[in-house]
Amino acid sequence: MAVAILSGLWLTERHGGFHREALDSDFDRTLILKSVLVALLVVGGLLHDFVLGPRLQRDLRTGAASAPATRSRLVVVGWFNFGLTIAVPVLGAVVLSTLD
């Protein structure tokens, strides 16, 4: 995650992505999309590991009726994170392929 974040920031700065004209090129739009997906991946990972996972563990320990619903949410977030884990490097490769 650190590599994705740092490389995105470095590429953005290197190509003027922090300027007002940031949406003028495909490179900048792709880089912004990659950055948004990385942010979603971080949020999804935190939700999966620190909210839903402990909640499911607690529900299973206590025998709560909400355990199946919590497990379903955990699985959906896990698959969403998996998709983002695939998409982010692909977009990174697309961005790198446009470099001079």
Q: Quick count: other Cβ atoms within 10 Å of Cβ 3?
A: 9
- Full-model pTM: 0.79
Share of the chain above pLDDT 70, in %: 91
Q: How far apart are CA 75 and CA 52, in angstroms?
A: 10
What residue spans define the domains of the chain? Answer: 2-12+27-97
Residue 61: predicted pLDDT: 95
Model confidence over 29-76: pLDDT tens digits?
777 788 888 889 999 999 999 999 999 999 999 999 999 999 999 999
Q: What is the mean pLDDT of the chain?
A: 86
